[in-house]
Amino acid sequence: MASQTFDEFFVQHRTRLEALYRASGAARWSVSLEDFARVAWQGILRAATAEPGQIPQLLGTLRVEDLGLALGCAQGNERAWDTFCSAYREVLYEAARGIVHEEAQARELADSLLTELYGVDSSEAVRSSRFTYFHGRSSLKTWLRAVLYQKFVNEYRRQSRLVPLPDNPDDTSTTPGSVSEKDDRRYDACLSEAVEGCLRNLPPAEKLLLSYYYVQQLTLKQIGRLSGEHEATISRHLEALRKKLRKRIEGYLRSEKKLSAYEIDRCLDFDSRGVTVELDRALKPE
């Protein structure tokens, strides 16, 4: 299906756009209906091209008040800027503190973004505000936080959540009671391969759930917020996923590695083996 042009979109959805424009209060900031509609169109263009029938629904998801304010700021309306500052300056400072954890640096980060949002550029005659990248698909607050974090990652040193484990060869020694070091290494390799293979074959949604929980170390509540589910539901999903993964690992060890039931139990019996050998290498950053 050929993609719609802006003019076609504007004519076809004018009534809805006018209602959204009124609801946004963009007129307070001297933003015209056409400007508002054009930015809304840019915001939903990609999704609308893929699913043209979803345009009314997409328009309904727009945060029109935030969009109106952002447009007013982008166009240089001072009252809009005053309103934005009074409502969001503290949000930026708090977010910066949450990212940087150091007051002076946080202030500097937030102030730098405020400058970009205001659009001050001494080298160009035309004001160019970062607000032009906001199209109302998300709340202005979340967007500001995302932009702030991206700015931090781009401009400051990257903060890795991975803490390198100390290189301590003593930790890799086998614990008393293991059969032999050679068997342990064999079991480790089998298990590592099984886990890697099973994870690779997981559907994206399940892999993402495991990543959020184990890699990003998000809480159940935080994960639930992404999917709109209660944390108890997420907990059940995770538990079911762990059980499913374990069964698949056992199946992989049985079918691919030809291990017996006893050997599979030994593979998964972490207490009696020096599993930390593999984990040390696996958890270090690339």
Partner 1 sequence: MKKDSKELGKLIAGKLRAQLQAEGPDCPGVETLAAYVDQTLTRGERESLQPHLALCARCQEQVGELLRLSEAEEPAKVLVLGPAPGRRITWFRWAWAAPALVALVVAGLWYTGEFHPLLKQQEPTVLQAPPAPEPSKAPEEFKYAQAPTSPAGRKEVGKVQPEKKARQDVISALAPGPPKPSVAYARRAQGATATGATAENFAAPAPGAIAPPSERARLLAPAPPPARDQSAPATQEDRLAARAEVPPPAAEATPQATREKAGQQATAAVGGTASKEPETLGFLTRGVAAKKAIAPSPAGHWRVGRHGLIQKAEANGNWVTQASGVNADLFDITFATPSVGWAVGQAGALLRTIDGGKTWNKVPIPTRADLILVTASGDLTAQVVTRDGQTLATTDGGKSWNTPSHD
Question: Residue 33 interacts with partner 1 (CB under 8 A)?
Answer: no
Q: Of the listed pieces 29-37, 78-86, 174-182, 256-264, which binds partner 1 according to CB under 8 A?
A: 78-86
Which residues from 89-118 bind partner 1, rule CB under 8 A? 89-91, 94-95, 98-99
Give me the least distance between CB of 120 and partner 1, in Å please. Answer: 20
Tokens of 261: 């039931």
Q: By CB under 8 A, name the one of 35, 45, 83, 248 that touches partner 1.
A: 83
Q: Of the listed pieces 106-114, 178-186, 210-218, 254-262, which binds partner 1 according to CB under 8 A?
A: 210-218
Between the alpha carbon of residue 149 and those of residues 100, 131, 161, the distances in Å are 9, 16, 14
Cα 230 from Cα 115, distance rounded (Å): 39
Name which of 50 and 232 has its Cβ closer to partner 1. 50
Residues ≥6 apart with Cβ < 8 Å to 4:
12, 48, 49, 52
Which residues from 123-182 bind partner 1, rule CB under 8 A? 133-135, 137-139, 141-143, 145-147, 149-150, 153, 161-162
Cα 29 from Cα 81, distance rounded (Å): 9
Cβ atoms < 10 Å from Cβ of 243 = 10
Give me the least distance between CB of 240 and partner 1, in Å please. Answer: 13
Give me the least distance between CB of 34 and partner 1, in Å please. Answer: 21
Give me the least distance between CB of 127 and partner 1, in Å please. Answer: 21
Cα 142 from Cα 282, distance rounded (Å): 33
Name which of 16 and 141 has its Cβ closer to partner 1. 141
Question: Residue 278 interacts with partner 1 (CB under 8 A)?
Answer: yes
CA nearest neighbour of 270 among 191, 215, 200 = 191
CA nearest neighbour of 65 among 32, 35, 27 = 27
Name which of 50 and 120 has its Cβ closer to partner 1. 50
Question: Residue 245 interacts with partner 1 (CB under 8 A)?
Answer: yes
Give me the least distance between CB of 95 and partner 1, in Å please. Answer: 5
Start-to-end C-alpha separation, the chain: 44
Name which of 30 and 54 has its Cβ closer to partner 1. 54
Question: Residue 45 interacts with partner 1 (CB under 8 A)?
Answer: no
Question: Residue 3 interacts with partner 1 (CB under 8 A)?
Answer: no
CA nearest neighbour of 136 among 71, 68, 87, 67 = 67
Task: Tell me the residue type at 84.
Answer: F
Tokens of 162: 């991975």
